[in-house]
Amino acid sequence: MTMSSFKSLLWGATGLALIASCAEAPQEEVEPETPVATRHLEWVRNANIYEVNVRQYTPEGTFKAFSAHLPRLKEMGVDILWLMPVQPIGKLNRKVVGQDSLGSYYSISDYTAVHPGYGTEAEFKALVDQAHGLGMKVILDWVANHTAFDHHWTKEHPEFYTRDDKGNISVARDNEGKTTDWTDVADLNYEAPGMAEAMFGEMRWWIDQFDIDGFRCDVAGFVPNAFWDELRPKLEAVKPLFMLAEWEDPAHMKSFDMNYGWDLHHRLNQLAQGKVGVKTLDAYFEEQKQKYQKDDIRMYFITNHDENSWNGTEFERMGDHVKSCFALCVGLPGMPLMYSGQEVGLNRRLSFFGKDSIEWGSQDLLPFYKGMLQLKHEVPVLWNGNWGGDLERIPTADSTVYAFRRFNAPNHPDSELWMWVNLGSSPVTAAAPESLTARFGADGNSVAEWKETGTTAVDAVQPIVVEPNSFRVFYTQKSQ
């Protein structure tokens, strides 16, 4: 029966009774939320991001094989899939390390093609469509600073490239014009007529052909800011997108939604290694207030493809503090990133230039990561940009304990969260702040403690004991 038929039946048989019933029991009106002033797309509100290394994700290393993991990632709570470059890799000057000869993901020989080893264009489109069907977004890693030395532009548009002192195409250069040791890639010259417009056309192809949702832009600081500033509105005219800059410059926030929190990452490494105390985080967030606006989203992480391959796994760098450091990435103002295999405790450095499949055996860490992403989704003060709450430090006497409160999220005045992180080797006892104790017994509010085994409702917390290498999180649940 259609809805219109159903309505007709109701009115024909019981119209007067229905009117009387409605008059006796009026529906309670739900007050609409006040729109939050933000430059970001609505789906960014409480999103997290997950980096996909297609080559290493499965033994096959293909789009089709990876697509089988999409339901699992959705179940874990992943929102945005960042795919590392999926284009063909150059052969000329390719870096070979020992037996690893597949080349760098970031040495691209054709911007508008898919790597034949990963699959076909149709299979990539099917991957994007499947992700969209599950409610996830897909952004593509984009290498705008350089190409492979056998990219077709080196023949068709040699004027697009920077030249060295001998007149040859130069290897990639940094933001100061100095040559890098990336000898497998050729530096693009954005002062060359037509260069920027050609790059826009290559990026647009992926939107038009595959309906991707944005780009993660490799070494964005090596590319002139003027290019990004002119590019963003052109892309937006095609489709509203999410843009991530691999750089840490506030100036990029004019053209990007989010950039890297490298500085925080390095400080977390030092904290976990006992080289600094928690005052380093106080200094960091004081600097952030001077450099960034609340709506500028910072990406926080404990690992990614660069860190894993070049600087070691999170277990090498953070030891027993892996969970605590990721909890900070979730609890502090920013968007948390996860890398391929992180959820199963990937504990080896993946090859950057060869095949090195991730082993998907252990599930021990899965409840932790799933619970953390769920917390990000459900607690409004943890939401991104202007949707989220403010940060307030809770004073602690111990240099290894960092505690804070999140509060004051737009449209959610009752939402609060408190976190204590103990990066030391001894238990620490702390008094609950008044902002937390005042919540117990308050009308319409309840307090819960986050745990890997599930949220636990609490009606009193005094004192708070935080075990070594651990953390505790309390938060207000939605008013009923």
Cβ atoms 387, 393 nearer than 8 A: no
Name the residue ranges covered by the structural domains of the chain: 42-388, 391-477
Q: Which are the contacts of 96, defined by CB distance < 8 A and separation ≥ 6? A: 353
**Average pLDDT of span 318-329:** 98
Interstrand relation of 185-187 and 214-217 (parallel, antiparallel or unpaired): unpaired
CA distance 434 to 437: 5
| Mean local confidence (pLDDT), 336-356 | 97
Burial 21-43 (b: 16+ CB within 10 A, else e): eeeeeeeeeeeeeeebebebeee
Fold entry, domain 391-477: Immunoglobulin-like (2.60.40)
- Please determine, for residue 8, whether its predicted confidence score (pLDDT) is greater than 60: no
Instruction: Return the pLDDT at 147.
Output: 98
Tens digits of per-residue pLDDT, 278-299? 999 999 999 999 999 999 999 9
Pairwise CA distance, residues 420 & 475, whole Å = 12
pTM, two decimals, is: 0.93
CA-wise closest residue to 467 among 420, 406, 397: 420
The domain defined by 42-388 folds into: TIM Barrel (3.20.20)
Give φ, ψ of 73 to 5 degrees.
-65, -40
To the nearest whole number, what is the mean pLDDT of the chain?
A: 92
The sheet with strand 446-450 has its strands ordered as 390-394, 401-407, 417-422, 470-477, 446-450, 456-458
pLDDT in tens, 120-148: 999 999 999 999 999 999 999 999 999 99
DSSP 301: -
Within 10 A of 471 (CB to CB), how many other CB atoms are there? 23
- Inter-axis angle of helices 225-238 and 195-210, to 10 degrees? 30
Whose tokens are 């826009």? That residue is 200
Equal fold, 42-388 vs 391-477 = no
Q: pLDDT tens across 241-262, in order?
A: 999 999 999 999 999 999 999 9
Q: What is the DSSP string of 81-142?
A: EEEPP-SPBP-TT---BTTB-S--TT-BS-TTS--TTT--HHHHHHHHHHHHHTT-EEEEEE
